[in-house]
Structure 1
Amino acid sequence: MREIHPHLIRYWLHSSEKTDPPETFAEKVNEICTVYHEAETVHENGGHTISVDEMTGIQALEHKYPDKPVIPGKAAHMEFEYIRHGTVSLIGFFDVATGRMEKPYLNSTRTEKDFVEAIRALIETDPETPWTFVCDGLNIHKSESLVRFVAGQCGLSEDLGSKGRSGILKNQESRAEFLHHKDHRIRIVYTPKHCSWMNQIEIWFGIINRRLLKRKSYRSIEELKASILRFVEQYNVMAKPFKWTYKGVSLTV
């Protein structure tokens, strides 16, 4: 009989979307995997597959005292105390086919308006081609403004209804269904709940956090923004797509 180890803990999350009904979870995961595996072909045909998310509350922290000189064979010593100079939010667009970070959007807020403006700036770089975005189900990713923007960009003249009352704009579910429509030139594919690991941009966020944000000292928000944009520019020079090997959930019993 195995011993019980109550001092050892592993986190576990019961997600209702994975069990009730299970088809919902499997369909979403498999759709995203298909989008990723087809990204290179889409890119060759002129389209774009973009993984998008927000990195919020990035702090402009100034180390109160300089780091100690690096000693070979020893860990670097970074000053513990710091001075806060505010925060910034990054809306990032990771191109799945190329591995590049395109048109990063930096602002003090992360609102419905910010998200639409960020999407608009990206699409304006290639306004006539297909765009597929992979993102989570945050409310600003299913907003009235986003629906109106996509409808306008796709030349759709149908009645959108009224927010909170009727039609496509009635609620988040109806808006998400519209934004996810396969026939639209601009569409969004949503990850299941609690599945940030399905969004490739989360890998990129980990890279910038380890290589830049954890180590740098910033005296202002402006200095932080400039540092992030410089990192993106340098990263893109050598960018390569992530190798997505996961093929999805088996639907056989």
Structure 2
Amino acid sequence: MVLTVDQCSELLALVNASDVPASVATRARIVLWRGEDRQKKDIAELAGVSRPTVDLWLSRYGQGGIGELLDRPRGAGREQVPAPVRARILALTRASPPVETGLSHWSSREMAAFILRTEGVYVSHHYVAKLWRDNKLRPHRQGTFKISKDPEFAEKVADIVGLYLEPPGGAVVLSVDEKTQIQALDRTQPLLPIAFDASEKRTHDYVRHGTTNLFAALNVGTGEVLGECYPVRDGANFLTFLKKAVKPHAGKDIHVVLDNLSTHTTPDMTAWLAKNPQVTFHFTPKGASWVNQIETWFGIITRQSIRRGTFTSVKVLIGQIRDYITHWNTNPKPFVWTTTATEILAKVRLVQTNIKKLVDNNAK
């Protein structure tokens, strides 16, 4: 099976999409692996399915393309969606998501939830996905993808993704970073048109009471988060925090995924690492902090607790952050990393190819 660049891009988007069921992502991987000219018996073993299942999805993809890999809703009647709502979905899809959503691009589930929240009309994500297919819209391909210029990009991605997919036996993997300059904002009644809250349809004045810096460590295996707030982001505070993060795991090998920042490579940090050989740093590639799982958690706490909060002081803001972390840890769930380093690097090559085509076309 020979796949085109566009077909590979679509399949990789399906594999990487957060709202796609694992079973559907597996079907997309089956097709991608076949496109790499792998034997069907090897694909069956990699995917954890039977050989007939591999044949089934390869056949369906060959007959109807990527749409045949998706789950089909069972027993659902045809949705009666008003024309204005349908038009709004199409208009929203062609634009970037509103800032308050915190989204880089639309998913069918996020669009359905947004329509319910703003229009008061329920539509299923199946309807949204079908509407996109019928109108040849691919919002997952409208987002940005920053290409790292790190010469060691491939090696670092392989190293970190390997930790996520197959952590060393008995070892602890911590994803660590800082969210800096979190503002304590006190939202007041309308006075001056400084900021417009689209969800509440009114203008607010904001009073700023200062900032704090959140240092956080995500246990990749358990989903638990340790977080501490510091007034200053520097090497000394980072070392203090890291000591707290590794203390509960005494006696174990500890692998720490983090960005290669100056605060992470101070002389004091280097000396501490030399005295604690059980702790190993794994630096993300430059310009590719998305490899660090704690960034996903930072996005969640921002959307669910910080962005819409009202904080009359930095102390109140810090209390809110601590309460959220406590709540998170009552039922922590690890993020499931499913994309292999090979798939990530393939996506990067595809993006580079598309950019080159665009540059060449514009140069003509």
What is the TM-score with the length of structure 2 in the denominator?
Answer: 0.51
Aligned-residue sequence identity (percent) comes to: 31
Deviation per residue, 1:73-107 (Å, 9 max, x gap)? x94456521111000000100110111112x1211
Q: Which residue is 2:324 aligned to?
A: 231
Q: Which residue is 2:138 aligned to?
A: none
> Is 1:63–1:79's contact at 8 Å kept on the other side of the alignment?
no
* Aligned equivalents of 2:241, 2:147: Cα separation in 1: 33
1:137 to 250, 260, 263: 260
Match status 1:106 vs 2:229? yes
Q: Which residue is 1:117 aligned to?
A: 240
Q: What amino acid maps onto 2:221 in structure 1?
A: A
* Aligned equivalents of 1:78, 1:48: Cα separation in 2: 47
* Aligned equivalents of 2:288, 2:174: Cα separation in 1: 17
Match status 1:92 vs 2:221? no
* Aligned equivalents of 2:289, 2:148: Cα separation in 1: 13
Q: What amino acid maps onto 1:60 in structure 2?
A: A
Gaps of 5+ in 2: 1-95, 97-141, 191-197, 350-364
Q: Which residue is 2:340 aligned to?
A: 247
Match status 1:32 vs 2:160? yes
* Aligned equivalents of 2:320, 2:312: Cα separation in 1: 11
The alpha-carbon deviation at position 148 of structure 1 amounts to: 1.1
**Equivalent residue pairs, number:** 199
Q: Per residue, is there more helix in 1 or in 2? A: 2
The alpha-carbon deviation at position 11 of structure 1 amounts to: 5.6
Q: What amino acid maps onto 2:260 in structure 1?
A: G
1:49 to 173, 182, 190: 173
* Aligned equivalents of 1:11, 1:130: Cα separation in 2: 36
- Alignment map for 1:69-84 (pairs within 5 Å): 75-77=199-201, 80-84=204-208
Deviation per residue, 1:141-172 (Å, 9 max, x gap)? 111111111222x2xxxxxxxxxxxxxxxxxx
Match status 1:217 vs 2:310? yes
* Aligned equivalents of 1:201, 1:58: Cα separation in 2: 16
Q: Which residue is 1:4 aligned to?
A: none
* Aligned equivalents of 1:115, 1:123: Cα separation in 2: 12
Match status 1:185 vs 2:278? yes
SS at match of 1:61: strand
Q: Which residue is 2:187 aligned to?
A: 63
The alpha-carbon deviation at position 13 of structure 1 amounts to: 4.9
* Aligned equivalents of 1:10, 1:49: Cα separation in 2: 29
SS at match of 1:146: helix
> Is 1:29–1:249's contact at 8 Å kept on the other side of the alignment?
no
Deviation per residue, 1:201-233 (Å, 9 max, x gap)? 000000000001111100111111011000000
Deviation per residue, 1:16-62 (Å, 9 max, x gap)? 32xxx5xx2111101111111124x64xx2x3110001100000000
Q: What amino acid maps onto 1:38 in structure 2?
A: E
**Rg larger in structure:** 2
Q: Which residue is 1:176 aligned to?
A: none
